[in-house]
């Protein structure tokens, strides 16, 4: 027996909502603060904020963000 039309609509809406929630969750997880250095040949190295190098990088970045100021919209 075919499902009732409103049931199809509900399922579609809740499917989209699930997709959107998963997208936001993935984006939040993947865009935590990070410091990434790239070298010749395309090699990259990540440095955690609690490491010595990472700490220096985040401090330097913070100063640059401060000097750049807020963007005029």
Partner 1 sequence: MRLGPGTPAGILAEMADGETNGVIEGGRAGAALAYLGEMSPDLRGAAILAEDGELLAASGRAERWREDAAALFGAADRAEDEPVEQIHIATEQGEVFALRHAGLAAVAVTDRFALASLLFFDMRSILRDLAAGGDGRAGE
Binding site for partner 1 (CB under 8 A): 31, 33-40, 45, 47, 53, 56-65, 67-71
User: Residue 2 or 29: which CB sits closer to partner 1?
Assistant: 29
User: Residue 17 or 59: which CB sits closer to partner 1?
Assistant: 59
Q: Identify the helix (H) or strand (E) that includes residue 67.
A: helix 52-68
Q: Identify the helix (H) or strand (E) that includes residue 20.
A: helix 5-30
State the minimum distance, in angstroms, from the CB of residue 41 to partner 1.
9
Nearest-angstrom CA–CA distance, 28 and 13: 23
State the minimum distance, in angstroms, from the CB of residue 50 to partner 1.
14
Six-digit token string for 28:
């939040």
């Amino acid at each position: 027996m075919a499902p009732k039309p409103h049931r199809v609509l509900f399922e579609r809406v809740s499917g989209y909502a699930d997709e959107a929630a998963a997208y936001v969750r993935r984006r939040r997880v993947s865009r935590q603060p990070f410091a990434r250095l790239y070298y010749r040949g395309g090699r990259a190295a990540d440095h955690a904020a609690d490491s010595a190098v990472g700490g220096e990088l985040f401090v330097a970045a913070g100063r640059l963000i401060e000097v750049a100021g807020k963007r005029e919209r």
